[in-house]
């Protein structure tokens, strides 16, 4: 990814593509696939300002595996890579021990 820093409470996400087959070995065609809702955090902004003007840092950091809403964020292409920019509030949580 080229040099890009998100502003405020925004995060840059790289979707994690699900497996092409089910556990039973059935291949899933592209037309039947759901958009992945799991991603890896690529970059984070410094945080949003609270009502006193203080910057509140984000809870996520680069490298975290997160879950987010299916229709969250804005899809962008940065340095030829398809990424998603979303607000931290659009994230549902961090997956521990994600591989």
Tell me what pLDDT residue 92 has: 93
70 domain residue, yes or no: yes
Number of domains in the chain: 1
pLDDT by 10-residue block (mean), the chain, 99 residues: 83 81 59 70 93 93 92 90 93 82
Structural domain containing residue 23:
10-93
Note the pTM of the prediction, 2 decimals. Answer: 0.77
Mean pLDDT, the chain, whole residue set = 84
Give the CATH number for residue 29.
2.30.33.40
Tell me what pLDDT residue 3 has: 80
54 domain residue, yes or no: yes
98 domain residue, yes or no: no
Q: What is the pLDDT of residues 62-83, one digit of tens each?
A: 999 999 988 889 999 988 899 9
Nearest to 13 by CA among 92, 76, 56, 80: 76
DSSP per-residue letters across the chain: --S----TTEEEEEEPPPPSB-TTSPBPPGGGPPPP-EEEEEEE-S-EE-TTS-EE--S--TT-EEEE-TT-SEEEEETTEEEEEEEGGGEEEEETT--
5 domain residue, yes or no: no
Tell me what pLDDT residue 31 has: 53
């Amino acid at each position: 990814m080229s040099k890009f820093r998100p502003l405020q409470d925004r995060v840059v996400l790289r979707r994690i593509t699900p497996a092409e087959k089910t556990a039973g070995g059935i291949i899933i065609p592209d037309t039947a696939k759901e958009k992945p809702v799991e991603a890896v955090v690529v970059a984070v902004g410094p945080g949003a300002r609270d009502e006193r003007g203080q910057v509140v840092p984000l809870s996520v950091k680069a490298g975290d595996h997160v879950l987010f809403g299916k229709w969250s964020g804005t899809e962008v292409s940065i340095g030829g890579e398809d990424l998603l920019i979303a607000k931290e509030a659009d994230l549902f949580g961090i997956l521990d021990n994600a591989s």
